[in-house]
Structure 1
Amino acid sequence: MTDTAPVDDWDTDYDIFDPGYVTDPAPVWEELRSQCPIAHSERWGGSYLPTKYDDVQALAKMVPELSSRDVLVVPIAAAPSDATDSLPYGTVSAPISVDPPMHGWTRRLLLPHFSPKAVEGHRQYTQELADRLIDEFIERGTVDGAGEYAQQIPPRVIAHLLGIDESRVEEFTYWVRCVLELGLTKPELRAEYRDVIRDFFKEVVADKLENPDDGFVSDLLGGTDADGNPVDPLVVVGMLNLQLIAGIDTTWSSIGASLWHFGTHPADRERMAAEPELWPSAIEELLRFYSPVTMGRRAEVDVEIGDVTIPMGSKVLLNFPGANRDPEMFERPDEVILDRPHNRHIAFGAGIHRCAGSNLARLEMDIALRTWFERIGDFEVSEPDEVTWAGGQVRGPRYLPIRFPSTS
């Protein structure tokens, strides 16, 4: 069967790129939980898809049994032999795509820059950015909430973090899309833009080696590895690659999905306008309900989970979005409850690879959504049937037509 053929049986032949699954995967997860909670498919190189919270969390914590060397949902073996994703030690996107012991010391280099206190240093810039973006369309009364707002915030914040010229953010966004969206099923495109990103950051690192400063890149270059030796500059190249890849698509998807929700659920929109003190719990609930990320792992040994054996060499898709809709973990899981009191979602993952940038993502969501509500006010998705979604590795709206009262 070809990878694009219609799905006949989701238990044994699921397709994460099926148009219906991309638009709304929740019915599939519900069906699988009751019939086959860990599904299997031969599509896209073959993989296993867990749908229960406990299973996903347990699998995420299986280290080293499940390796992070292959985090994309489509296997690297699909790439041409002269353009694989197999990288030499110094150019991997650590810590996300490496296992211990390298994972530990590379993550420790990053964490100080993403503590709650550290990310507060980006608040003023992010606030000014959100206001500047809204200034560009507020008089029109219409906007593509995905392309003109949600998509514009994370790449600029990441550029600000890295000390890179903000004028290149359109390039950054396209590069990331070519790796995580457009190129996910086209390995040649993915490999091409993986190299583009890597070459760009090689230039950034070379410049900072010649002209060090007190910024993020120079701080990483001044770090040491597990043995106390100066960090390999090529490792820093990989770490910068990670900031771009992991920090853009995921957060813009979360902001865009939140705007889609409020633009299609007027009661929730009205409640947030009336009760802005709900934003902390509302953001956690939106993260749970619209969790954007599915991560890949590769079994290094035969893995037993429940009554399923995942053979060595198999791909496992850590289905964090499906886990966050499990009724055994969440009451009324298929409803957005803005003041949900107990919300142990795993939208940012679980185990040692839990997202290091979660505090920055929350900051961006908080500012983007609060500012939107304060300045835009009442709004709606104007053409629901025209909304488009990306799926596979990261799910979120890519075109989101919104209408609101203009200020002109």
Structure 2
Amino acid sequence: MTYARARLGPGLTGAGLLLLLTIAAYVYQMPSTFFPYFGGPWYSDWAGFVVCFLAYASVSLPFDIWGGYTLPCSHQRLCLLFPEFLMKWLRGVFVQGAVMTSSALVLLQAGKHWGVWGATGALLALQITLLALQWPLARWTGGLAPAPALPGSGAVTVLAVDMGFTGGPAGLPGLERNIQPQSWNTSLSPPALLAEHLRRQGLIKTGARTRGVLLALGWNLLGFVLSASLPWGGVDTIFSLLETLLGCTLWSFLGLLILPSFSRPGTLEADRYAAANGATRPQLEAAICEIDQLQDEDLSRPRWLETMSSIPSVENRLNALDSKHQPYGAWLAARTTLYLSWANFGLLSRAVHLNVGRPELWVLPPGD
């Protein structure tokens, strides 16, 4: 079994367990049992959110160990000493916990004063803030260190331990930074590196990345409004807001099934841009295949797995280069919703197979 297929184990099991617990808590309205008070000082509300996050982190820990420590070691990938892995995990969890609990507190305060639409406006502002701080948060969460860049590359080069780290555009649309792992300077051939630089330009110039960001923002906002509008949801008490946030997690799961269909054409659009702006077919093939080998993905996938993937398989990407159809998509929309769901306490944000147990990928998920 390939490393990529093996990662489905902790991803599907961990995400499935969190989903079942979320459904149970949502249906039986457990937040009103554990947090029955209607109001209090902000610090008591914040303490309640911290308790919820610690419970979430405790449930996810075994799957993070499985996906971030056990599997890489058993497949001769990155194999850190367990104390080193644990310190990286604690660092990432601390940063995520600070963001998620603070965001929930902001939503609650906005809901108390201005109702559902005030909380929705606060959620929009929080997601925009997360986009603006994407690179600093990626650095703090994953312990990424800056490294010297190749002259003329225009990329921010970083030292990343996990070979699955690909970086990519980070930040608000129009103000993006291109983040690239330093290892690519030696692990990718010069033709592949050239083609990848053109692809990264294409993500911006075609608008594929902007469309992905806007779709992710809109999806999370829609889920929040729908969840808050249900009879047992709300935004003005901690228990009603937690019920709303549980509904947002269920909405995120629906997004993982629907949004990849919009994400995959965005990848193909960047491939076609590179081909039209100087990258030869052999250069693009080299970039696609060499990066895939670093990821240890599958050259082809079963149809059910392909429909759940944000990035097309190597086989489908190479076939698309010969197609006359011009793709038009929202690059990485599905995975971007997971990062932005930190703003609404998304319990699936780091439970899927691509980033479970891998803090370096929690903010900048693989996009190549």
Relative to the length of structure 1, the TM-score reads 0.26
Q: Which has the higher helix share?
A: 2
Q: Which has the higher strand share?
A: 1
Relative to the length of structure 2, the TM-score reads 0.28
